[in-house]
A and B are shown apart, each in its own frame.
Chain A
Amino acid sequence: MWNCRNRLTHRGYRVLGTCILTGAFIAVSYAPAQNIPLISGGAGFFTRTSGGKTSYIPTIEPLAAAPLGSHALVEGRANLLEDFFPSASGYDHVHFVALTYLQMDYLVGAHATIVAGEYLTPFGSYNERLAPIWIGNFQDPPLTAGLGTGTGSSVGGMLRGSAISTSNYSLDYAAFYSAASSNQNFNSQNSWGGRSSIYVPRARFELGASFSRVNVTAQTNNVAVHAWWEPADSSFKLRSEYDHCTHAQGYWIEADYRLSPFGGPDSALGRLEPVFRWQQVFRNSPDPSDGLPSADTQRIDAGLNYHLPHEVRIITSYSRQLSATGNANLWQTGITYRFLFPTWRGR
């Protein structure tokens, strides 16, 4: 939720509005029964208390997706938030309106999709999969989330898909090239890279590796390896990732266990989900551009989430961060709502 890098200008609003309206108009002409454009995403209200000071952050992340026939899809996601924080004169506030991505997907065949536009950088496991506020177990991303993803989005092209998918394993890939762009709405670094991961359904185990080369002032290589494990017939999940760049490295391990075995997922107890995350970052030399803490840092997050009916979720957590730049306690609470509906009635 803190990835608010690209602030929309009035021109940006017009561009975004035109793209969505054009996409929707074209989609009307093509849309068969199950192909209606959709609006999805999450809305939330978060609090964040550190050093006795509390900030309040209402936010919404709408996503629109409009198919253009059976092979093409236009999709985009935005982030709107208001941050009310304590100041000398009481409370002050800042607002962000950010376009997270706006891309066009073209399904080339059974194993490949071409993506063009501004897309989420496929590096590591967090940026594409766990960043939406209705998915992530914690309000804050991992300390290493910015490594390899730059601004979070890339502007250019990407080829991705499922290379092999059998009942024993599946292998997917993504390769991208991004141009440097200083445009406020489509901000990105010049970079290229990719990610590949293998998933073994029987073991419910996923192992992936990412690489990116970023050309900013100097060329830097970033590497990440992630491993996820979800034991069969269990609501336990274990996710981990190791990230390495020229000037720093770090890792995070996250575990959650929804108590659904105790009375079912809809019981009072079964709606509870304890979550835990441990992370460390080690810095060997300063680099303000890699997105990692400026000094060695370790942090523990422990929380308790509660899944209410109708896609509503309460998330709470306590974090203790230890760093050479200062230790901190952080209390966070929030409520999120996930929405998903068609833009108009289907035929």
Chain B
Amino acid sequence: MTRYFTSIGLGLLCVAVLPMIAQPPDSAPPNAAASPTTKRDRTNSAQQSDGERKFTQNCGRCHTSPEGFSPAISRTILQHMRVRASLGKQDEEDILHFLNP
């Protein structure tokens, strides 16, 4: 029993400490997923708009957008969600561009 609680405690400690050591200095600002602002050109802007629409229509059907996350995991998130939400390849790319303009 003691060993069990020790394991749980260590696990929770690791989860609590990891974000502190893992956040890169160039983390996306809060609400980056909901309102990215970088626009490079007209094409990029259109893709951005497509991505925002697809994000709302696919991801937003089940949950709210995250308040912010590191750009280092944006493609991992999309790979995970491509399977979970059965996204097409083009949808994945558009949403990735929206999350990481």
Verify if B73 is at the interface (C-beta below 8 Å from A): yes
Question: A250: shortest Cβ distance to chain B, in Å?
Answer: 22
A-B contacts, 6 listed (Cβ < 8 Å): A36-B72, A60-B12, A60-B15, A201-B53, A311-B66, A339-B19
Verify if B8 is at the interface (C-beta below 8 Å from A): yes
Verify if B80 is at the interface (C-beta below 8 Å from A): yes
Verify if A179 is at the interface (C-beta below 8 Å from B): no
Asked whether B61 lies within 8 Å of A340 as measured between CB atoms, the reply is: no
Q: How far is the CA of A204 from the CA of B60 in the complex (A)?
A: 11
Verify if A110 is at the interface (C-beta below 8 Å from B): yes
Asked whether B75 lies within 8 Å of A346 as measured between CB atoms, the reply is: no
Asked whether A161 lies within 8 Å of B86 as measured between CB atoms, the reply is: yes
* Cross-chain contact of B15 among A36, A130, A339 (Cβ < 8 A): A339
Asked whether A34 lies within 8 Å of B82 as measured between CB atoms, the reply is: no
Tell me whether chain B's interface is mostly helix, strand or loop, or mixed.
helix
Footprint of A on B, CB under 8 Å?
Answer: 4, 8, 11-12, 15, 18-19, 21-24, 53, 57, 61-64, 66-67, 69-77, 79-80, 82-84, 86-91, 96, 100
Q: How far is the CA of A208 from the CA of B79 in the complex (A)?
A: 23
Q: How far is the CA of A12 from the CA of B9 in the complex (A)?
A: 19
Asked whether A341 lies within 8 Å of B19 as measured between CB atoms, the reply is: yes
* Cross-chain contact of B8 among A35, A43, A80, A173 (Cβ < 8 A): A80
* Cross-chain contact of B22 among A162, A230, A343 (Cβ < 8 A): A343
A85-114 interface code vs B (CB 8 A; 1 in, 0 out): 000000000010000000001010111010
Do A341 and B67 form a contact, CB below 8 Å, given A34-B72, A36-B73, A165-B88?
Answer: no
* Cross-chain contact of B88 among A39, A110, A230, A346 (Cβ < 8 A): A110
Asked whether A343 lies within 8 Å of B24 as measured between CB atoms, the reply is: no
Interface residues of A in 103-132 (CB under 8 A from B): 105, 107, 109-111, 113, 115, 128-130
Asked whether B19 lies within 8 Å of A34 as measured between CB atoms, the reply is: no
Verify if A2 is at the interface (C-beta below 8 Å from B): no
> Number of contacting residues on A, CB 8 A?
58
Asked whether B62 lies within 8 Å of A135 as measured between CB atoms, the reply is: yes
Asked whether B75 lies within 8 Å of A35 as measured between CB atoms, the reply is: yes
Verify if A174 is at the interface (C-beta below 8 Å from B): yes
Do A36 and B76 form a contact, CB below 8 Å, given A130-B62, A341-B18, A345-B22?
Answer: yes
Q: How far is the CA of A228 from the CA of B4 in the complex (A)?
A: 42
Verify if A301 is at the interface (C-beta below 8 Å from B): no
Question: B31: shortest Cβ distance to chain A, in Å?
Answer: 10
Asked whether A110 lies within 8 Å of B89 as measured between CB atoms, the reply is: yes
Query: Across chains A and B, which 5 residue pairs bring their CB atoms closest together, nearest first?
Result: A346-B72, A172-B86, A34-B75, A110-B89, A162-B88
